Each structure stands twice: as structure tokens, then as C-alpha cells.
Amino acid sequence: MRNIWTVARKELSSYFHSPIAYIILTVFAVISGYFFVSILSLFVRQSLMAAQYAEMGQSVHMNVNEMVIRPLLMNVSVISLFLVPMITMRLFAEEKKTGTIELLMTSPLTDLQIILGKFFAALLLYAILLGITFLHALLLFHYGNPDWKPLAVGYLGMLLLGGCFMAWGLMISTLTRNQLVAGLLTFGLFLMLWVIPWVNDYSSGVSGQVASYLGITTHLENFAKGVLDLRDAVYYLSVIGLGLFLTARSVESVRWRA
């Protein structure tokens, strides 16, 4: 475990010794902040209208979790689709480009320790991104009364989604020494997993059901609603496990060549 943490700390440090982390954090903070302000403004306007309806004897139910937190998390997942490839593209590609991959492969570290160290470093950076949106949630708790349990489930779903992105981005980074190529391939894969449920719109058969299940955002919707479904958790953990397994096989071939 100590070796895994050593690798993770080195990778996380390298993020913040380059402009990558600061650019990602700034872009994420600006875009997520814009979405939060827009969603909150809409909620405030709807609340004012609901108050007017209440004066006329009509009851309108307003739920902060459903009308603010849930759309915010779904929008954050869209932002992640574009930014996560910037996190994962350098993990192995840079090692290959700079020639340090041979040193890494001949070190006393095992393949699993290297992979998990890099995986957790990327996931920690992603968790820091989510921490920015948590500041938005704290404002809601200060001025409103949202339910914390659906919020916790939603963030759990976002972490699992991030784990899927990191595992497969890590795997793609082992395939090339060009960071730009790794980033584009990662984005292409994520986009395919994002849009594949659309097949269900024009195919109601088995193919549509399979496509809907494979869609990475299909399982996020329940988490965003605050519903903890074991099937969704198993899906994400399986995708993460498969991504790390394929990464291990790819790294094993790199070690053999080194």
C-alpha cells in the first residue's frame, strides 16, 4: 500500500508542478459555477412563482434536490466528459515520450502498484474537482434545507463515474506515446459510451436494451435522483475493474518489451 501511495503522490505532485491541474481546475470552476448560478436563478424564479400560486390557494411542490442538485450533477458529468481526458492522457504516454517508462518498468514496483498509484492520483484530482461543486452545495445548505442523503448518493455516483473514466483513460494512455492522441482516443471512447443509449430511442428490441445498459450515463441518473441501486454500482465497479484489467495486460506487454 505504501508503494501505491508513493506513486500516487508523485503523480499528483506532477499535476500541480505543471499548468495542467490549474487549467483544469480553473475551467471546471468557471463552467460549473456558471451552471450553478443558472440553475439556481431558475429555481429562485420558480420559487417566486410558486409563492404567488400559494397566495391564490394553489400548492406547488419545490424540491432543492430535484431542481438544483440533480441537474447540477448531470451538468458536471458533461463537463467531466471533456476535461477527464486531459487528466488521464499523460499518465503513461508522457512516460513513454520522455523515456522514463524503462526506469519505471525495471523498478521494484509491481505492475499493479504502478497502475493503482496512477489511477488513484487521477481519481484524487477528479475528487478535488467535485469538491468545487460541493462548495455550491454548502451554499444551498446555508440558505435552504436540501436533503443530504440524496446529495451523498449523487456524489457517490459521480465518483464511480469518474473511476470509470480514469480506468479507461489510463488504459488508452498505455497504447501511445503521444498525449494528444491519448486524449482524443479517450474522449472518443467516452463520447461513444455517452451516446450509445440513444440507440434505445429507435430500437425497442434486445439491441436497444443492451445499448441502454452499456450507456455510462444511464446508471448515473438513479444516483443523481438519490436512488442507490446495487445494479448501477455493480455496473460501474465492473467497468472500472475491466479497465484496470486491460491496463494491466497492456502494461505487462510494455514491461516485456522494456
- pLDDT value, residue 225: 82
pLDDT digits (tens, 9 = 90+) for 192-222: 888 887 766 666 666 667 777 777 878 888 8
pLDDT digits (tens, 9 = 90+) for 50-82: 666 666 666 656 677 788 888 888 888 889 888
Q: Are 24 and 83 in contact (CB under 8 A)?
A: yes
State how far the Cα of 74 lies from the Cα of 125, in Å rounded to an integer.
19
What's the predicted TM-score (pTM) here? 0.87
Of 13-17, 45-49, 108-112, 239-243, the poorest mean pLDDT is in 45-49
State how far the Cα of 39 lies from the Cα of 75, in Å rounded to an integer.
10
pLDDT digits (tens, 9 = 90+) for 162-194: 999 999 999 999 888 888 899 899 999 888 888
Write the CB contacts of 208 (distance below 8 Å, at least 6 apart in sequence): 199, 200, 201, 202
Mean per-residue pLDDT for 27-47? 88
Q: Are 246 and 173 in contact (CB under 8 A)?
A: no
- Percentage of the residues of the chain whose pLDDT score is greater than 90: 24
> What cell does 178 get?
503521444
Nearest Cα to Cα of residue 219 among 237, 245, 206, 207:
237
Nearest Cα to Cα of residue 93 among 185, 19, 1, 194:
185
- pLDDT value, residue 205: 66
